[in-house]
Amino acid sequence: MSVPAAESCRLYLISPERIEHPGLFANDLRAALDGGDVAAFQLRLKDVDDDAIARAADTLRPVCQQRDVAFILNDRPDLAVKLDCDGVHVGQDDMPYAEARRIVGPQRQVGVTCKASRDLAMEAGDAGADYVAFGAFFASSTKAVTTPASLEIIEWWSELFEIPCVAIGGITVENCRPVIAAGADFLAVAGGVWNHMDGPEAAVRAFNQIFSADR
């Protein structure tokens, strides 16, 4: 994901907030990756200690890296380095971009949540972020929507900037087409894959079929 945006949209998977048994969830992750192209997987665990994050990362990172899928850690640049992740994602309530970059260095990716703010996105892009994330575009089962985003911000960004943008928030197979049409480079999806009625492999396959059709 550190390269310029591809010609078609791609998937950016986000983990559930809790993974009680990383070994079991690894099976779901493998199934998802069997479904088709995935650019990145973000480990986003909430209200757990560092040991739990490390256990999950050590189990899931090889699954991703063996398939050339970027393994991104949420919120924690220090652990991203320690656990040999490919990058870190920071939100507006987390560490500032400059500090995250200082910790992870130039070789790892740093993505930044910009919610629905053009100013925050331009600041992150100017500072050197590898991608900016906008959202939420739909109601989400994994995060309370405090700042709804309009598709206009993706249209604006994709017309003016080369830095990839990620759309996030309640995205599913059923509602993703307008987001793709607006110009999103990546769709960040959690529940839309892990909770899909036919399983994660079917969900990823369906997303990729839509991406191919909308090229």
The predicted structure's pLDDT at residue 2: 46
Alpha carbon distance 192, 173 (integer Å): 7
* pLDDT tens-digit map of 109-148: 999 999 999 999 999 999 999 999 999 999 876 666 567 8
Residue 177 has pLDDT above 70, yes or no: yes
Alpha carbon distance 101, 107 (integer Å): 10
What is the homologous superfamily of the domain 10-213 according to CATH?
Aldolase class I (3.20.20.70)
Please state the rounded mean pLDDT for residues 7-35: 96
Kindly report the pTM of this predicted structure.
Answer: 0.95
For the chain, the maximum distance between any two Cα atoms, rounded to a whole number of angstroms, is 43
Nearest to 12 by CA among 213, 204, 205, 212: 204
Mean pLDDT taken over the chain: 94
* pLDDT tens-digit map of 61-116: 999 999 999 999 999 999 999 999 999 999 988 899 999 999 999 999 999 999 99
Q: What is the percent of the chain where pLDDT is above 90?
A: 88
The predicted structure's pLDDT at residue 139: 87
The predicted structure's pLDDT at residue 181: 97
Please state the rounded mean pLDDT for residues 14-27: 98
Tokens describing residue 143: 């995060």
SS3 of residue 184 by DSSP: coil
Q: Which residues contact 120 (CB under 8 A, 6 or more apart)?
A: 92, 112, 114, 132
Angle, helix 97-104 to helix 118-127, in steps of 10 degrees: 30
Residue 42 has pLDDT above 80, yes or no: yes
Residue 203 has pLDDT above 60, yes or no: yes
